Structure 1
Amino acid sequence: MTGWTTDRIPDQHGRVAVVTGANSGLGLVTATELARRGAHVVLAVRNTAAGEQAARRIGGDVEVRELDLARLDSVRAFAAKLTADHATIDLLVNNAGVVLLGPRRTTADGFELQFATNMLGHYALTGLLLGALCGARNARVVSLSSITHKNAHLDFDDLMFERNYRAAAAYGRSKLATTVFGVELDRRLRAAGSPIVSALAHPGLTRSNLTPRAWEHRGRLGQVIARLGLVATQSVEQGALPQLRAATDPGVRGGQFFGPSRLWETRGPVTEARLSREAVDPAVGRRLWAAAEELSGISYL
């Protein structure tokens, strides 16, 4: 494959980068490449033992900090400690995510797990780190979307899928919400005259650790489906390229969305991808932002 590669990542020395879900999959590749270019990388992970293993594998200037995006108290604690130790943050990659194909699960705060982890926790984290991002030069926030956002819809009367729960639809909704958040964040940063860039990316169909975990509850059938998925997907190194470009390419503009260029954006070289109509609707953005403020108790911009 040709196109944008990690060779084009500029020098990252002197920059502090926070990557959520950095102990495996797309997050591990992203953290590795940023550290390789000289960034001080914060591995924001739920499992710190796995994070320490990842840190040893990555090498370079990295640190591990505990963050459970499904718990707002954990998000607040993480942000408070991080900003106490780092006055400025140059890059926030909202990478962590969960995908479920089993029964509906809720968090300690009472939210549907996928929505809470994939969108609401990142909304809260971004707001709590905004002051540190404002203090940096050329700061950037990257939100990780999914091609599933294109077929999803936000039902503001039932954001947490309490009625007629379908796990795959709930995942798509959480990723649409993540995408709407990234676009609305860009609008609000521009309106505030902020130089912070909010960009988005999606990995296409990638062999991360999320899909096998999602099928664990289906036993042998789940194992077969997960193995078949290995044939249809691209490597995690290739899947991480869109978010790495969004995070590091000097030419990226606020609101840009990157993803694979081939086979309906499922794989291939990185290109500017298409956002769904609902994802870019300003009215949807305002409504989701208001909902996130109310649910999290965190307001900004």
Structure 2
Amino acid sequence: METENHTSVTSFILSGMSDIPEYQITLFLVFLTLYLLNLLGNIVMMALIVTDPKLKTPMYFFLCNLSFVDMCFTSVTVPKLLADFLSKSKIISYPGCMAQMYFFLAICVNECFLLSIMAYDRYVAICNPLHYVMVMNRMLCSVMVTGCWTISQLHSLLHTLLMSQLSFCRSNIIDHFFCDLPPLLKLSCSDIFTNELVIFIEGAVIGTGTFLCIIISYICIFSTILGIQSAEGRHKAFSTCSSHLIVVSLFFGSAFFTYYRTSSSYNQNKNQLVTVMYTIITPMLNPFIYSLRNNEVKGALKRAIGRRIRHVQKM
């Protein structure tokens, strides 16, 4: 049998949400608003952490990195989606599609690792507070963040190389609003057993591994919190990790739903709604969840506004 090469498809059409003509402008405005809120919230969060001396702790160092990752997360997919809402042509080139998939997967895995590291940070802070400064030193924090970026790039490179070996000769219409693994595998006319096997095995190692790390950390945290005698002390300890729990639940819940299925069970409408949750909604909500439920961040924001007001008054 003659093997067809992937060059039979030189570009893809992103149907996704941009194939509903009567709602194009409305959807454009909605997603533009979400994207701008994402940029605004995360930029403000990073600026506060970088400039406020009281936020120079490991927890906020990781949160600053998370805000940067969240901005990148939406910037990989939303600008192209916005352009498609205003254009009759929804085409993305084959190299552009592979590049979008590469960066998306890298950032997604990076977020998994960052959330697990932040859970470990809360574990050390609550369960071993006397040694927190010694354990979570600057060197360890830098090494962990560097490790996040390195492993995520290798993970993404592996999937991109495997995807580049497939043939796409059935159709070039992607039932999604960006290039992702499940919809691309569905289009392939090659044997995708290896790709799906790697997704499940690596997903168990990275996705499930980081999630279990978070679960184990919080089991230890809750055990310690329950052992605190005063109700005020328990509330204070729990409040330091409640924001992180909300973010973890939103991100991992929707991500697992998307990737822990075979391509044959892929459903366009359900998948797009869930993907919007963890690629657009959650990154937008993260800075607001952390700021609204964190007195230190709210205090830093008030100090920043106060400095700005005093600066304007002096002019």
TM-score scaled to structure 1, two decimals?
0.29
- The structure whose residues are more often strand, as a share, is 1
1 or 2, which has the higher helix percentage? 2
Question: What is the TM-score with the length of structure 2 in the denominator?
Answer: 0.28
Larger Rg: 2
More RCO (CA 8 Å, sep 6+): 2
